Amino acid sequence: MNVNQSAPPVPPFGRPQPVYPGYHQSNNYGGQPGSTVPPTPYSTYNGPVPGYQQTPPGVSRAPPPSGAPPGSTTQAPCGQAAYGQFDQGDVQNGPSSTVQMQRFPGSQTFGSAPVAPVVSQPAVLQPYGPPPTSAQVTAQLAGMQISGAVAPAPPSSGLGYGPPTSMASASGSFLNSGLYGSYPQGQASPLSQAQGHPGTQPAQRSAPPQASSLIPPTPGGPRMPSMTGPLLPGQGFGGPPVNQPNHVSSPPQTLLPGNQMNRPPGPPPSMHSSPQPGYQLQQNGSFGPAQGPQPNYGSSYPGAPNFGSQPGPPQPLPPKRLDPDAIPSPIQVIEDDRNNRGSEPFVTGVRGQVPPLVTTNFLVKDQGNASPRYIRCTSYNIPCTSDMAKQAQVPLAAVIKPLARLPPEEASLYVVDHGESGPLRCNRCKAYMCPFMQFIEGGRRFQCCFCSCVNDVPPQYFQHLDHTGKRVDAYDRPELSLGSYEFLATVDYCKNNKFPSPPAFIFMIDVSYNAIRSGLVKLLCEELKSLLDFLPRDGGAEESAIRVGFVTYNKVLHFYNVKSSLAQPQMMVVSDVADMFVPLLDGFLVNVNESRAVITSLLDQIPEMFVDTRETETVFAPVIQAGMEALKAAECAGKLFLFHTSLPIAEAPGKLKNRDDRKLINTDKEKTLFQPQTGAYQTLAKECVAQGCCVDLFLFPNQYVDVATLSVVPQLTGGSVYKYACFQVENDQERFLSDLRRDVQKVIGFDAVMRVRTSTGIRAVDFFGAFYMSNTTDVELAGLDGEKTVTVEFKHDDRLNEENGALLQCALLYTSCAGQRRLRIHNLSLNCCTQLADLYRNCETDTLINYMAKFAYRGVLNSPLKTVRDTLIAQCAQILACYRKNCASPSSAGQLILPECMKLLPVYLNCVLKSDVLQPGAEVTTDDRAYVRQLVTSMDVAETNVFFYPRLLPLTKSPIENATEPPAVRASEERLCNGDIYLLENGLNLFLWVGASVQQGVVQSLFCVSSFSQITSGLNVLPVLDNPLSKKVRGLIDNLRAQRSRYMKLIVVKQEDKLEMLFKHFLVEDKSLNGGASYVDFLCHMHKEIRQLLS
Ligand SMILES: [Zn+2]
């Protein structure tokens, strides 16, 4: 395996990168890309302006002291103890303190016979069991007094709201709920059928002028008091349904009884009409002129021209169910945002601007506020008072990705060096100099924008003000004109007042029976030989400063001396795992280039040494302890890469037992499945954080390994967990190696502390992510990479005012890959409002969902899952009810009115509610749930967006020549056409679904077989064929993978094949087999909740 063939790195911005920067990557964060000359505004930085310079070529300070050279750290004071210990251990720890490499005795047997790996499972994912009954949803709906009887009409989105025979009879209760059924396989897509029902009227025309309603007012329409069914987008109480055309012609459409649409009088506008005047949003321009309040709901109605106006014949049995096309479509919202906001750069100069959606590709120009790549907020307009905030229940939160990578088109951050005096800060609140600080008294003082304290300007920083009160050098200084920048930290910002040494990477490899047998150890060692050449560097550096070390283990640990002067590596065994120490310092952590021959020899020998092992038991905590002690002895921060296969049952600290118990699901004790089974790992994690020791864990389990406990240390140290169930080299090597390469190479900061300061009136009160906190304000991160986010929640502690707005400043102190201590500053200014409508007009639903998912996923540790789900639903209902009550124009109580910016809140929230963590299917393992739970904890907004609402792309609809990604369709079975092929991805999983009626030519072109029946279900790789379709599909798959931070393994699923159940789990608009509501159902339920709050 040549690393140079590795998958492209993830372009963090949802945009395929044309070129794989690969190992020559300029680390966009931290360092400056060596060759990139920052664009214009700061070209003057190269000039004589004293005090800071443009890095990297000109880092004025010498590279930080690189500390002791590799291997020389034995003089370290804190290493002494351990070393001394080793001197004794040399004797007591027996087998050999120094041995030449040799085959590990295969004869050691430890009782238990080797466990054969389970190989029968297809992949990480498993087919789901038989569908449970639909009782839950039925009951839910029955309780909603949905008017109308159920008729055995073909249900569409898995729901069979029956068509009442007439409006009059529709006032009855919900009947015959047993007639639910799934949409028949093979039936034509509902989309292909006429759906010109008035109920499908695009809401843009009917929205009331507050620009946010989905519901048209129903002027003059007869009210049906008995109809309590929810009204949905574009629906209002209307005339007798018998007068509505097209009911019969659209059997699959769902329309809630009683929700007949009444278009406002007048001729039906065209489907794509532009928004009516008066509907324009007033959102600081952030929505762009083109975006109407209700864009294009109706765009998919073939029957549109007819609609409403055509006096169709009286329809005897009009099906009155909620039309899926009439409810807000994620696809449409995403498309509209792309069209409206994808072409212009997002300029950050204006306070409180809502950025484009995460699904839109856009460039950012920093003009004083941090890019949305670094910070996104749930709302960009904060209520002035806590009372208002409480009323709205809209969480005020920011999702911060401090080290986010930038696309190549955007300049990386400037590094400002204030010399020995260090960064300029407010004396009182310690906020860092930023564009919002107010210079006064001719420039001699500045007033802090966070705490109002007036500070003296140091003489060397003095500058005159212009007539507007602005410093004349404002645009020459990043810290006075940009939202994001870095400061070089002085020694005051370093541990023990000493500049840090370059970090180290320690590879710790499980060599027990399972690891050897699966081929993992051989594969890994082979890969490392070349991968070590691509350790992360600060921008411009020729060689990585990172040192490496190696440990193997089963129930004992083997350390390796790979000192460059040795002819062969030496192994030292530590069997006293209860009292872990590092048996060697000199020669353990080495420079790759200096010790290359010895390292290569070691990596060649490791698989051979253990090839006959019978050892099945492993330890886990002592391994982390050993790595952490080694870093401590070397006085550096670093990262441990653990490759681990099994539940650590060997006698040692952190020993675990199998406590997986599926009977706990849906009980009050379910939460224990997510809790670690011992506190030992928290204690260990705390020590790791103190040392700046980040832990990345690669798991290769064949059975339960207790991810909830094993992931504690990675989680609290800012590390990552990867899981490859039933790992087999032939099936999984591409995925594992791709993840490993990316993980080893990614730029990372160490020993970091993040602090979020706010202007008076609000403060950060809660934090979500992979980190540790020893007090209430400082987020401590042993390691932090460009993918990890921290979600921060804010609460009021005083009144805000509209004039001043609200400010956030996120300061991250960290050690770069080269050992340089830096401060990264992100500033963001937000508006404040006295009108709730302003809050609702400036929200970002994707960010809200990120926050709500993290909140809920943390909640499962302490509360029954039902409580967690109910809390989410109640909060969502409260948010929407508050809007309805305070912001929407008066209208029928039966109407569901959603704020424009939150119209996807119900569909996305439903996806969170029915996710595997909150509502598991029968086949989702406890480990999978714990795994996903911790993954979501540090996801950014783009990742949670696609994770909860997967992307479904039809492949043969668009012309083959068209190289761009095809437009997505909604994640519902009824959108699937059996003559087409689809890709579905959610950032972790990737499916290729093949319809049963796909043209034979397509089958041949993609799979190189002559018929559908010959396609191998569960296939993981498409054959490489030289034809346009094959190239296009494989190219698309590569692109999707490149956009995500983890490699997505492909699974080919055939229509009506067993594996299809697995695939359908991701069709999140449909009812799920484990009882999760369909989108339509959930929207009805949400409406009911809102009505209760309003009544
Ligand atoms: Zn201050």
Cα of 450 vs centre of ligand 1, distance in Å, is 5
Tell how far the Cα of 418 is from the centroid of ligand 1, in angstroms: 19
User: pTM of the prediction?
Assistant: 0.75
755 CB-side CA count, 13 A? 13
Burial (CB count <10 Å: 0-12, 13-18, 19+), residue 815: buried
CB 377 within 8 A of CB 491: no
- Name the β-bridge partners of 841: none
- Distance (angstroms) between ligand 1 centre and the Cα of 487 equals 18
Task: Of 565, 536, 558, 566, give the one whose Cα is nearest residue 548.
Answer: 536
Ligand 1 centre and the CA of 1079: distance in Å? Answer: 47
Distance from the CA of 759 to the center of ligand 1, in angstroms?
8
Residue 446 CA, ligand 1 centroid: distance in Å = 10
Distance 121 CA to ligand 1 centre (A): 58
Distance 425 CA to ligand 1 centre (A): 8
Q: What is the pLDDT of residue 965?
A: 83
Cross-strand partners of 547: 504
Distance in Å, CA 824 to ligand 1 centroid = 18
Please give the share of the chain, as a percent, with pLDDT higher than 90: 64
- Is residue 218's pLDDT more than 50? no
Map residue 985 onto helix, strand or coil.
strand
Q: Crossing angle for the helix pair 1079-1094 and 865-886, nearest 10 degrees?
A: 60
Q: What is the rounded distance in angstroms from the CA atom of residue 2 to the CA atom of residue 905?
A: 45
Q: What is the mean pLDDT of residues 384-407?
A: 96
Per-residue pLDDT tens digits for 739-771: 999 999 998 999 999 999 999 999 999 999 999
Q: Quick count: other Cβ atoms within 10 Å of Cβ 106?
A: 13
Close Cβ partners of 953 (under 8 Å, ≥ 6 residues apart) = 965, 966, 967, 968, 969, 982, 983, 984, 1036
Q: Place 541 in a pLDDT band, splitting at 50, 70 and 90.
A: confident
Q: Report angle CA 345, 350, 356 to the nearest 5 degrees.
A: 40
Helix or strand holding residue 944 (H, E): helix 941-948
Separation between Cα atoms, residue 989 and residue 711, nearest integer Å? 21
Q: Which residue has the higher pLDDT, 115 or 609?
A: 609
Dist CA 690 CA 780 (whole Å): 9
Which phi and psi angles does 515 have, rounded to 5°? -70, -40
SS3 1092: helix
> How much distance in Å is there from the Cα of 492 to the middle of ligand 1?
20
What is the CA(339)–ligand 1 centre distance, in A? 41
**Dihedral sign from CA coordinates of 354, 359, 360, 365:** positive
Q: Cα of 472 to ligand 1 centre, how many Å? A: 23
For residue 1048, how far is its CA from the centre of ligand 1 (angstroms)?
A: 46
Does position 224 have pLDDT exceeding 50, yes or no? Answer: no
Highest averaged pLDDT of the listed ranges 35-39, 87-91, 157-161, 1035-1039: 1035-1039
913 C-alpha to center of ligand 1: Å? 41
Cα of 773 from ligand 1 centre, angstroms:
23
For residue 454, report the distance from its CA to the centre of ligand 1, in Å. Answer: 8
Q: How far is the CA of 449 from the centre of ligand 1 (A)?
A: 7
Instruction: With a cut of 90, say whether residue 170 has pLDDT above it.
Output: no
The residue-averaged pLDDT of 1044-1054 equals 96
Per-residue model confidence as pLDDT tens digits over 549-608: 999 999 999 999 999 999 999 999 999 999 888 888 899 999 999 999 999 999 999 999
- For residue 1051, the model assigns a pLDDT of 96
Q: What average pLDDT does the segment 911-938 reach?
A: 93
473 CA distance to ligand 1 centroid (A)?
22
More confident residue, 1038 or 266: 1038
Q: Rounded to the nearest whole angstrom, what is the distance from the C-alpha of residue 762 to the centroid of ligand 1?
A: 14
Confidence (pLDDT) at 579: 87
CA of 453 to the centre of ligand 1 (A): 5
* Ligand 1 geometric centre to CA of 275 (Å): 45
Q: How far is the CA of 763 from the centre of ligand 1 (A)?
A: 13
- Higher local confidence (pLDDT), 99 or 914: 914
Listed in sequence order, the residues at least 6 apart from 833 whose beta carbon sits closer than 8 Å to its beta carbon are: 381, 382, 383, 384, 802, 839
From ligand 1's centre to the CA of 368, what distance in Å? Answer: 18
What integer pLDDT is reported at residue 623 of this predicted model?
97
Cα 178 from Cα 176, distance rounded (Å): 5
Q: Where are the beta strands (DSSP E) in 851-1000?
A: 951-954, 981-985, 989-994
The number of C-alpha atoms within 13 Å of 974 and in the hemisphere containing its C-beta is 26
| Centroid of ligand 1 to alpha carbon of 756 (angstroms) | 13
Q: Are 674 and 933 in contact (CB under 8 A)?
A: yes
User: Distance between CA 482 and CA 828 in Å, rounded?
Assistant: 10
pLDDT of the residue at 406: 94
Q: Is 609 in contact with 102 (CB distance < 8 Å)?
A: yes
For ligand 1, the distance from its centroid to the CA atom of residue 375, given in whole angstroms, is 21
The pLDDT, as a whole number, for residue 22 is: 32
pLDDT tens digits, 32-86: 333 333 333 333 333 333 333 333 333 333 333 333 333 333 333 333 333 333 3
Cα 718 to averaged position of ligand 1 atoms, centre (Å): 29
Q: How many CA atoms lie within 13 A of 110 on its CB side?
A: 18
Q: How far is the CA of 447 from the centre of ligand 1 (A)?
A: 8
- Pair 480, 366: CB distance under 8 Å: no
Asked if pLDDT for residue 290 goes beyond 50, the answer is no
What pLDDT digit, counting tens, does each position of 402-443 carry? 999 999 999 899 999 999 999 999 999 999 999 999 999 999
pLDDT of residue 1075: 86
The 8-class DSSP code of residue 649 comes to -
Lowest mean pLDDT among 144-148, 332-336, 829-833, 1025-1029: 144-148
Ligand 1 centroid to 623 CA: how many Å?
44
C-alpha 163 to ligand 1 mean position (Å): 64
pLDDT of residue 321: 61
Nearest-angstrom CA–CA distance, 599 and 593 = 9
Which among 731, 514, 737 has a CA at the least distance from the CA of 610?
514
Task: Measure 402 CA to ligand 1 centroid, in angstroms.
Answer: 21
Given a cut of 90, whether residue 145 has pLDDT beyond it is no
Å from CA of 404 to ligand 1 middle: 27
Ligand 1 centre to CA of 455 (Å) is 9
pLDDT at position 178: 28
In angstroms, what is the span from residue 430 Cα to ligand 1's centroid?
6
Rounded Cα gap, residues 554 and 229, in angstroms: 62
Q: Crossing angle of helices 845-859/865-886, nearest 10°?
A: 150
Give the max Cα distance, the chain.
97
Q: How confident is the model at residue 923 (pLDDT cuts 50, 70, 90)?
A: confident
Task: Return d(Cα 1029, Cα 1066) in angstroms, integer.
Answer: 25
The four Cα atoms 94, 100, 106, 108 give a dihedral, to 10 degrees, of 0
Cα(39)–Cα(44) distance, integer angstroms: 10
Give the residue with greater pLDDT, 369 vs 295. 369
Distance 778 CA to ligand 1 centre (A): 17
Q: Rounded to the nearest whole angstrom, what is the distance from the C-alpha of residue 432 to the centroid of ligand 1?
A: 8
CA of 788 to the centre of ligand 1 (A): 28
Distances in Å between the Cα of 701 and the Cα atoms of 270, 555, 670, 726, 989 are 57, 17, 22, 6, 18
Using one digit for the tens of pLDDT, what is the confidence trace for 800-844? 999 999 999 999 999 999 899 999 999 999 999 999 999 999 999
User: Cα of 760 to ligand 1 centre, how many Å?
Assistant: 9
- Helix spans in 1019-1071 (H): 1028-1043, 1060-1064
User: Is the pLDDT assigned to residue 897 strictly greater than 50?
Assistant: yes
Q: What are the tokens at 601?
A: 């020899």
In the reported structure, the alpha carbon of residue 764 is separated from the centroid of ligand 1 by a whole-number distance in angstroms of 16
pLDDT in tens, 706-744: 999 999 999 999 999 999 999 999 999 999 999 999 999
CA 89 to the chain's CA centroid: 45
What distance in angstroms lies between residue 751's CA and the mean position of ligand 1's atoms? Answer: 25
What is the CA(452)–ligand 1 centre distance, in A? 6
- How many whole angstroms from 806 Cα to the centroid of ligand 1? 14
pLDDT mean across residues, the chain: 77
Structure tokens at 765: 């009160």
Query: Contact, 240 vs 167, CB < 8 A?
Result: yes
Packed helices 520-531 and 729-745: angle between N→C axes, nearest 10 degrees: 30
Compute the distance from residue 445 Cα to the ligand 1 centre, in Å.
13
When computed from its CA atoms, the radius of gyration of the chain, rounded to whole angstroms, is: 30
CA of 416 to the centre of ligand 1 (A): 20
Ligand 1: centre distance to CA 440 (Å): 15
Distance between Cα 798 and ligand 1 center (Å): 16
Token digits for 923?
Answer: 């086949």
Note the pLDDT of residue 249. 29
Res 1002 pLDDT > 90: yes
Crossing angle of helices 865-886 and 905-913, rounded to 10°: 170
Q: How many C-beta neighbours within 10 Å does residue 752 have?
A: 26
Q: How far is the CA of 433 from the centre of ligand 1 (A)?
A: 10
What pLDDT is recorded for position 309?
34
Q: What is the CA(435)–ligand 1 centre distance, in A?
A: 13
Q: What does DSSP assign to residue 872?
A: H
**Is the distance from CB of 29 to CB of 412 less than 8 angstroms?**
yes
Find the 757 Cα to ligand 1 centroid distance in Å: 9
CB neighbourhood size of 107 (10 A): 8
